[in-house]
Amino acid sequence: MSKTAIGVLLILATFSGCRERTLTPDRRTPLRIGLVTWIGYGPLYIAKEKKFFEEQGIDVDLQRIEGDVERRAAIASGNLDGIALTLDAMIVLRSRGIPLRTVMAIDASNGGDGIVAVPEIRGIDELKGRQIAFPTGLPSHFLLYTVLKSRNLRMADVKPVVMDADQAGAAFASGKIDAAVTWEPWLSKASEIGKGHVLATSREFPETIEDVLFMREDVIAKRPRDVDGLIKAWYKAVAYVSEHPAESKAIMGRAFGLAPERVDKLLAGIRYEGEEGNKTAFGTGGSRGFLYPMYERISDAWMAERVIEKRDAPDRGIDPDFVRSLTR
């Protein structure tokens, strides 16, 4: 055998060995996943407590980071490997040059977010010219944009009052504002305290607010088996919620410091995306799931609202390979 042939074989053997190491779960280094206090991410804590991550040969470090600036800095610097957050948030981060891709759907808002209005505002059309409280560049903003667009209204047709969703709900409950985009418990309180009513929710406007898991592109490339194991553990945890609801609610309540009744109310407004939900979100084979057109709609809205200055194609921000490989 010639020296050239031997050299080629050595190179191939070395490459093969490197690939094998890359595809072996890294038991020593945890996957560092950032998240906020939200019941939608509860199954991650179930996977942790029930050792579903451990079964996959991985360690997952769940880090609660509530501030947008702090989360952005952590993922941009590589101090986080991924974040559980809404798709619209990931699109904003990508527009700022942070190399991220969505690898899994987590949960969908299914009535948990909505618009409350004073009694005299009887329909969406009557929001025109009214003060509406909502946080800009966040899911509530996109929900309002979508609801208004359904009646051929624009954001310019209303009077924005910028505040976060909890503040918006409280401002509405105190009678300081005509309408607000908020979530539970403020949606229920609007009717309970007699200040107004729920005008529209994410149940009537599906595929508007979707929590996803997005990972840094370098982590996807270097640790594919770990990402694969995390998704498998998530699927098992979501199934566990259905099979053991009382225990699951207790675990999630402890993780987030929520009373049982609060857990029940929040869970009523979301839908967890397990294996079947992820098939629908990402699509199978040559068929694209709903994340792709949703990505386009959010990008359109954020460009129109000047939340982002540039956009890219859904194929660049969505990585369907993990979900599709697990559902073949």
pLDDT of residue 195: 77
CATH 3.40.190.10 fits 21-108+209-326, yes or no: yes
pLDDT of residue 190: 78
Share of the chain above pLDDT 90, in %: 79
- Region of 121 please: left (phi>0), alpha (psi -120 to 50) or beta: beta
- Residue 55 has which token pair? 């079964």
Coil, helix or strand at residue 225: helix
Q: What one-letter code names the amino acid at 148?
A: L
Contact between 116 and 176 (Cβ < 8 Å): no
Is residue 327 very low, low, confident or very high in pLDDT (cuts 50, 70, 90)?
Answer: low
Task: Provide the residue ranges of all domains of the chain, joining segments of one domain with +.
Answer: 21-108+209-326, 113-201
C-alpha pair distances (Å), 226 with each of 29, 30, 31, 210: 10, 9, 8, 23
Same fold, 21-108+209-326 and 113-201: yes
* DSSP labels, 253-315: HHHHT--HHHHHHHHTTEEE--HHHHHHHH-STT---THHHHHHHHHHHHHHTTS-S----HH
Contact between 109 and 212 (Cβ < 8 Å): no
Higher-confidence position of 302 and 28: 302
16 pLDDT exceeds 60?
A: no
- CATH superfamily ID and name for 113-201: Periplasmic binding protein-like II (3.40.190.10)
